[in-house]
Amino acid sequence: MSDQVENVVIIGTGCAGLTAAIYTARSSLNPLVLEGPLPGGQLTTTSEVENFPGFPHGVDGFQLTQNMREQATRFGTRFEQALVSSVDFTSMPRKLHLGDRTILAKTVIVATGASPRMTGIPGEKELYGGKGVTTCATCDGAFYRKMEVAVLGGGDSAAEEALFLTRFASKVYLVHRRDSLRASKIMADRAVAHEKIQMVWDTVPVEVLGVKEGAVSGLKVRHVKTNAESVLPVKGIFVAIGHIPNTGPFAPPLDVDEGGYFKPQPGSQVQTNIPGVYVAGDCSDHVYRQAITAAGMGCAAAIEAERWLAEHHG
């Protein structure tokens, strides 16, 4: 174990983590950012971000996080690729175990984001990644040129994925379990009106076909009102049914709510049940879940950490 005690360790490099890094670095706290399995977070798998303030013509999601990273680096943020395996928040400094290594920290900002939720239907796991089932149209859409694909879900992600896929696919089935989209009106209207998108209402996925062949050959679906089953002749299936917060080794000791999201202390968006430990972004926000709100929470966590350090460590 190194004796060096970090002022602030930030876990996660999405909008929340990088914004916390920019703020703490600009306050000369020399933050250390631990980078997990998806550097840049969920924004890197988004195509055009049209609603981040300051970009009137939209901005590429990957580029936006690259810019934030560059900004954080400019003020002295250090980045390290590492996975926290367990934590000990019972004493000061706080301990973050990374396998056989331990990092000591006066304050910690957990900004671990959320991971795509999967349906769990037969064939989904077997054909995930390169075999036809995916959660990222931006990453994999181009593989489905002139093919029919299905998008599962009814939120903004599903609408956005479906619209993006119309650039490549010959037809996009948008399969939703209800008869209206949860997505924002502008996205829903665009998806429903698109000539290449066919809405498949009141329908749930039942099985991904093609396991024996090692590639998706269709999607068996069931109409929830009639129970009639049918097969959509698709080669690609894009799962967009929401996310699960990445609370991993931090909960416990950090409190979570009934949905599994980190639960800040009453009256605060970012303060956890452990003094000097903060949460920010999609790992603790099941309400807004936007790039801009994650960035805002990252900023708030950084300011709180800074104040806490000033109070407790002069």
Token pair, residue 216, equals 């998706």
Q: Which stretch binds ligand NAP (CB under 6 A): 67-75, 191-199, 239-247, 304-312?
A: 239-247
- CA 268 vs. chain centroid, Å, equals 22
Measured from the CB of residue 291, what is the shortest distance to ligand NAP in angstroms? 8
**Region binding ligand NAP by CB under 6 A among candidate stretches 20-28, 33-41, 70-78, 234-242:** 234-242
The count of residues interacting with ligand NAP (CB under 6 A) is 19
Of these, 157, 203, 284, 293, which contacts ligand NAP (CB under 6 A)? 157
- Residue of 123, 155, 210, 218 that binds ligand NAP (CB under 6 A): 155
Distance of CA 50 to the CA centre of its chain: 17
| Residues of this chain, 260-299, that bind ligand NAP according to CB under 6 A | 289
Task: Report the residue number, 13 or 46, with the smaller CB distance to ligand NAP.
Answer: 46
Applying CB under 6 A, does 158 fall inside the site for ligand NAP?
Answer: yes
Which CB atom, from 59 or from 204, has the smaller least distance to ligand NAP? Answer: 204
Q: Report if residue 41 touches ligand NAP, rule: CB under 6 A.
A: no
Q: In the set 241, 277, 280, 283, which binds ligand NAP (CB under 6 A)?
A: 241
Q: Which of 28, 51, 67, 85 binds ligand NAP (CB under 6 A)?
A: 51
Candidates 74, 101, 167, 178: give the one binding ligand NAP (CB under 6 A). Answer: 178
What residues between 110 and 129 interact with ligand NAP by CB under 6 A? Answer: 119
Active site members? 136, 139-140
Question: What is the phi/psi pair of residue 244, to 5°?
Answer: -120, 130
Q: Which of residues 39, 76, 122, 242 is near ligand NAP by CB under 6 A? A: 242
Report yes or no: 140 and 162 within 8 Å, Cβ to Cβ.
Answer: no
Over the window 194 to 233, marking each residue x when it contacts ligand NAP by CB under 6 A and - when it does not, the resulting string is ----------x-----------------------------
| Residue 39 within binding range of ligand NAP, rule CB under 6 A | no
Using CB under 6 A as the criterion, which residues of the chain lie in contact with ligand NAP when the complex forms?
51, 119, 152-158, 160, 177-178, 182, 204, 240-243, 289
